Structure formats: structure tokens, C-alpha cells
A and B are shown apart, each in its own frame.
Chain A
Amino acid sequence: MDFGSINPVILIASLMVAAVPIMLAAVGELVVEKSGVLNLGVEGMMVMGAICGFITAVETGSPFLGFLGGAAGGAGLSLVFALLTQVFLANQVATGLALTLFGLGLSALMGQGYNGIKPPLTPDVPFGPLAQIPALGPILFAHDWVVYFSVAVIAVTWWVLKATRLGLIIRAVGESHDAAHALGYKVNRIRLGCITFGGAMAGMGGAYVSLVRVPQWVDGITAGAGWIALAIVVFASWRPWRVLIGAYLFGGITVLQLNLQAAGSAIPVEYLSMSPYLITIIVLVIMSSGKGRAALNAPAVLGQNFHAAR
């Protein structure tokens, strides 16, 4: 492989940026799945976040409000999912897939007239002299706030799930909704909260694509990032810090593939684009072959709807 023309510092710095959308979406989905809900509509929520964030930022001129708008857009779409699966008890897989298709279509409609516009710039956080440190500076201290925010979300999610009562209840609901109900926890309400959080995170990730990564609006701008986010959750075996690693790994592959393309590598880039999914399949196979489901952390009632019988 030819690394000659690739500067590792720039590669690492840019993979951190490239990883932000999938990391945000994946950590949101992680919380959703920990509560026992499988929302396959991440792609749809991301693309809704991308267009809502884009419109908000363009209309208000504030990129910060843009990210809030993106989060609201993703959360709004996730509420449709929550309504269908938690209230009407629709099948989660089918609803999630439909949500993606719906999100793609709705975002294309909303984006009419926003093609070719440049959104307001999201500036880097000014770290002053820190950014001048060789190698470390560009890697650690020359990013916009969302990059740091995404890492903070991972840390907070990890801490909440591990050490707080809220996290314990979320894990309990995902482990056995019947037992949680018997103890008097409101299963569907807790799940509703998790789904909304997941939608907001996916929406923010989508907004990052349209406001920072690209930055402009084209239909279907997220281009499969939501599916990678879903893959990362499994790859990370539902552990927040592994989501970070997974996102950097898969984000890195995206960046590397672009760089390799530019460098004229002999390896077809398709192999690299395939690799996240291949790795995920391998992880899934290893998981299901082993006996230690508990050790692998998978929520026991993932994808099953809950209905209090009496």
C-alpha cells in the first residue's frame, strides 16, 4: 500500500472529523438498543437532521442553531417511529426500514430550493497556541466544537449507563421488559425517551454532514452513514468507548479510501468501502457462535415490543 503521499497527521485529524456523524448516530442508537429497541431508521433520521439543520442554519445564519435544528429534525422523525412501535406495537424492523425511506423522501422534498447554497461556516474552537503544537496541535486542538461534543457524548453515555440509576433502568428495560414492568417501571415511556435521544443524536450527526463535512445540500447526502452507524453499534458490542474506536476505525477507512484514490492506489476502493460491513458480519458471527451473550453485552429483548398484558 502506498502511504508515501499521505500525511499521517492530516489523516488522523481528518478521520476525527469524518467519524463525527457516524459516532453521534451510533452512540444514539446504542442507547436506543440498550433499552431493547431496534431502530433501523438511523439513515432516515440522519438525512432528516441534515436537511433540518441545513435549513435552520441557512435561515438563521447560526450554525449552532443549525445543529439544534438538526437534532430536532432527527428527534421528530424518531417520534414517528416511537408512536408506531411503542403505541401501536408495529414491527420494529419494518418500521425502521420504512422510516429510512420516508426520511430520504421527505428530506428531498424539503430540500427543494436549497441546492447549491453554502451554509454558514462552523468555526474551529480557538485553542490559541495549543493548536501550534507540532503533530498534537492539528490532531487535538484544531477542530470545531461538534468534534469535542461527540467525544463528550460518548463519555457521558458511558458514565450514565454504567454508574447511574437512569442507566441501570435503561439496561434493565432492555434486558427484560416483563421484569422491569413487574417492578413498576414504565417500559414504553423509558423507551420513548431513549428513542428520542437516539433520533436527536442521529439528526445532529446528519447536520454535521450537511453543515461541515460537505458542506451543502444534495439529496441523500448522508450516503449510507446511518447503516455504518448501525454496524458500529454491533461491532462495539454495545459499549460506548468501543463505539468511539469503531467510529474512528470506520471513519478512518472512509478518509483513507479517499486518500488512496487520490494517491492512485492499486487496490480498488470498493474493498475498503465494503470493509466496515464485512467486519460487522464477522463480529456478528463470532457473537452468535459464542455462548457468552451476557459477556458480549447484547440486550436480551432487543427488537421485541412490549405490551403490558394486564
Chain B
Amino acid sequence: MARDVLLALEGISKTYPGVKANDDVTFSIGAGEVHALLGENGAGKSTLVKMIYGLVRPDDGRMTLRSAAYAPAKPSEARAAGVAMVFQHFSLFDALNVAENVALGMDNPPPMRELAGRIREVSEGYGLPLDPSRLVGDLSAGERQRVEIIRCLLQDPKLLIMDEPTSVLTPQEVAILFGTLRQLAAEGTSILYISHKLEEIRALCDAATILRRGKVVGTCTPAEKSARELAEMMVGMTLKSPEREAAEPGPVALKVMGLSLASPSAFGTSLKNIGFEVRQGEVLGIGGVAGNGQDELMLALSGEMRAPRDAVQIHGRGIGDTGPNERRKGGLCTAPEERLGHAAAPDMSLTENALLSAGVRRVLTRKGFIDWPKTRAYAEAVVSTFDVRTPGVGTAARALSGGNLQKFVLGREIMQEPEVIIVNQPTWGVDAAAAAFIRQALLDRASKGAAVVVISQDIDEIMEIADRFAALNEGRLSAPVPTKGLTIDRIGLMLGGAHGMHEAEGPAHVHS
């Protein structure tokens, strides 16, 4: 490709105590190029971009920006050189308004009034409309990301770094974002795009550098490779699609009927007359765009939100009015979406976290006292069975990477051998290898006779593992249909809801 090189990295290395985050990394980004940085969690992508953005200093190696030596000591130097970054976890302030948030990310912001005008101008120019006076806390995830992008664009960057930008976006928002990024690239801005959503990278990026354990293991043109080939380059081994033996589903294990509940949060979605059945050995996938009642449904099923007794039944027994521990006793285990702070207590060790959920079914207490050896043994069993990479079970949950903690959280539930298991976004923000592992584990549990409910915004995931599919839309659940033979158009219609056919066009491009 006959592009001028904008940024070149040569032999970049960075060592943290006990781990070599980057080892002799060399690659370059052309002007106006959308360059993907691919790798599993912990492959060193984040450290690498932190060095480019001046948050971390490399131990070794050198960078050149437009043929000049480039070694930013702090982010403001990077910004001055024309490097801007959109963060994976948004670096926004909820209680401040859009303009103030933008001003904080600039080194010499103009006066507020002028800045507000420029925000309007730039945001509309790129198809990302934003009201500068709104509080960021009131914005949706997609709008928050716009704030970050606008903050970067106002500084007229030469290189825009995007760290996992689409993990919180709806398919519609992803489409808008891609439009903006293509426009930027056409105007000559280079984009360094970090993601492990391979289809997105294939659709968007001109070139890719693949990292594994801190080293560059390959470069390629993503459009010429299949998603599977890319994933295998990342992981360094052949990936297997999850599979299981076909089996006749057993009797109904979980039955939900007439479940209507008001949302506990002011901006939530209330559940409206939800009903479905899941048989033993069956996997039900519940799809839908975020914010259509997924969280509320999860709360109602886990027992964190109480419902009338017969609205939720296990094997015909009403448990709707019981709490989580009662439900665990009854054979229902759940894993919520938010790993840190909901599924796991961040500052407690894995052993303690194992006790918190498995204490009931695995009898880890004796007369009110914790049976530590037994609890530790259970946590160790989860760690070894689910291949959780951790120094030990005494490590705090917070210290684990997202994928590893997710494996632990799901393993903790699955190894309790529940008759019904309900998971929300089981592979959110998890790399390809771990995601495949988790999906396989769920299928294994189903083939051992459990009823599995997977709530997910990832339609591909549902199509891969679910037997039947139902769509959640504004708190209403469609009638489940078999996934075999289900077309994307049909799914789009279901996600759009029966009441508004025009909305159905949106989600249909999830596969594009």
C-alpha cells in the first residue's frame, strides 16, 4: 500500500513485575489507514497504546511520528503531537456536562460558549449530534462515546486510537460509528483500532497487527482473511466450534408466566407479561438491544427482584417470591452481566467469592462457620476445570482480567450442577478462546440435563448455541422460535417488535 508512514514503532518493550507486557513490538501505521491491533485479553494491546498515548513509558525501543522521534512523557505531549485516544472504559465525568467533559480533555480549550458552538458544529459534521449542555450522566452509552470522539476530533488529531469502542454499542450505533471512522480515514486521519470483534475488523480495517503474549505474531489484511483465521492467529491454535450431541429435550424445567414487574431504576424498562418455558437439556437464547429489559428480567429470574409466587416455576414449583439463595437451593443458578461488583465482589478473594454463591448448594458452611478447606478446594476446582489464569485462589477478583473472571464466575455457577442456569451476556468483553470455552461449558451443562437460558446482545452467539430464540423488546418477550432455519431478516423483525415494522431494519445488519 503506497501510504506515507505516520507512526512507526520499533522494538518496543515494556516489562511489569512478573510479566513482559510488550516484547520487541514493531509495526507501522500509514496516513489515513485504519489499522487494527488484534489480540486476546492480556496480549499487551492496552499497554502498547498507553505508550503511544504517553501514559506509560516503554523500557526499550523507539517510536517515530512523521519521521520525527516521538517519545511522549505525558498525554498532553501526545495530544500536542496529534495523537488522540478514545478509551475502553469511558473517561467521562457523569456530573459534568458535555462541554465541560470535552474541555477537560483539551489542553487549551476555548471559552465555554465558543466550545459549545464548535461541539455542535463538529458533532453534526460527523453525523454524531450532541447537545453540549446535557449532563453526561444522562446520556446513553453510544452518546457517551460520541463525547469522547468529539473531544478527540476537536483537536484535529493525526492519529486516533480507539480501544474496544464497540463493546457497549448497539448495532445501529456501531453502524453510525463506522460511518464516522470511514469519513475520518478518507480525510487522512489514521485510526488505530483495538478490538476482538473480528467481523468488525474485517469490515472496517485496512491492515491488522496481531499480538500474542506481548509479541507481534503476524500482520495481515483483515478483509482477505476469515474471522476464524484471524481468531486462530490471535489464539495461536485451532478453534473448535462449540458442539454437543443431539438429545431429546426432557420435561419443562423452568416456566415463567405472566411476569410483569416495574423496573427498580428510574431509567429502566419494566417487564410486561413475560412468559416462556425451557425444557431440560434445552438452550433458550433471549436476544435484544441493550436496555429493553434484559437487566430487569435477570433480576426477576435470579431472585433479586421478587415476583408473584407462580410467575417463576422450577419443575412446576412456584419460586417467584423467594430470594436468590432459596432459588439456588431449588436448583436455579444465575450469572449476571456485570462481573465486577455484581457477579463477584471485587476486593474479595476467589475463595470468598466462591463461597458467596456456592455456599448453599455445595454446603461450604458448618453450623454457621465457614468450612475453609472445602471452600478453597471448590474454588481450586473451578480454577482448574475452567482454566482460569490466576496466581491462586487467594487473589482478589479485581486482579483478574475480564475473560478470566468471567470464566471463574460462570464456572462457579456451572459446577454447582444447577438444573436451571441463567446467564446474561456470558461472553461480553471476553476474547475468542475464552468465549468458545464458555459457550462449550454451557452446552455441556445442557447436555447433562440442565435448562439453560442465555440472555445476550450477540446474535451470533445465540445462533451458535441456542435451540430456540426469543426477542426482548421494550420489556415484552416474543414467542420463542427454533433457531434452526432462522434468517437474519426474521430476527431483525423480532428484535424490532411487532408494533413497529420500520424499526426492524436496524438490527438486521448485525452480520454485515
Contacts and interface: CB of A to CB of B under 8 A. Distances in A.
B68 interface: no
A239 interface: no
B91 interface: yes
A185 B104 CA distance: 9
B249 interface: no
A172 B16 contact: no
B94 A184 contact: no
B87 A175 contact: no
Contact of A182 (B55, B95, B103): B55
Interface string A58-92: 00000000000000000000000000000000000
Given A172-B104, A291-B266, A294-B135, A179 B95 contact: no
A165 B109 contact: yes
A182 B74 CA distance: 10
A168 interface: yes
Interface string A276-310: 00000000000000010110010010000000001
B94 A300 contact: yes
A183 interface: yes
A93 interface: no
A45 B266 CA distance: 42
Contact of B93 (A175, A184, A291, A293): A175
A234 to B, nearest CB: 16
Interface string B74-97: 111000000000010111111110
Nearest to A297: B95
B352 interface: no
Contacts of B135: 294
A169 interface: yes
Contact of A184 (B47, B54, B92, B137): B54
A176 B96 CA distance: 11
Given A291-B266, A294-B137, A183 B91 contact: yes
Nearest to B151: A183
A165 B87 CA distance: 22
Interface string A182-199: 111100000000000000
A281 to B, nearest CB: 24
A75 B266 CA distance: 43
B105 interface: yes
26 contacts: A165-B103, A168-B104, A171-B95, A171-B96, A172-B93, A175-B96, A176-B91, A176-B93, A176-B94, A178-B89, A178-B91, A179-B91, A179-B92, A179-B93, A180-B104, A183-B75, A183-B91, A183-B104, A183-B105, A184-B74, A291-B266, A294-B94, A294-B135, A294-B137, A300-B95, A310-B47
Interface of A: 165, 168-169, 171-172, 175-176, 178-180, 182-185, 291, 293-294, 297, 300, 310
Interface of B: 16, 47, 50, 54-56, 74-76, 87, 89-96, 100, 103-105, 109, 135, 137, 266
Query: What 7 A-B pairs are tightest by C-beta distance, nearest first?
Result: A184-B75, A179-B91, A182-B91, A175-B93, A294-B95, A175-B95, A172-B93
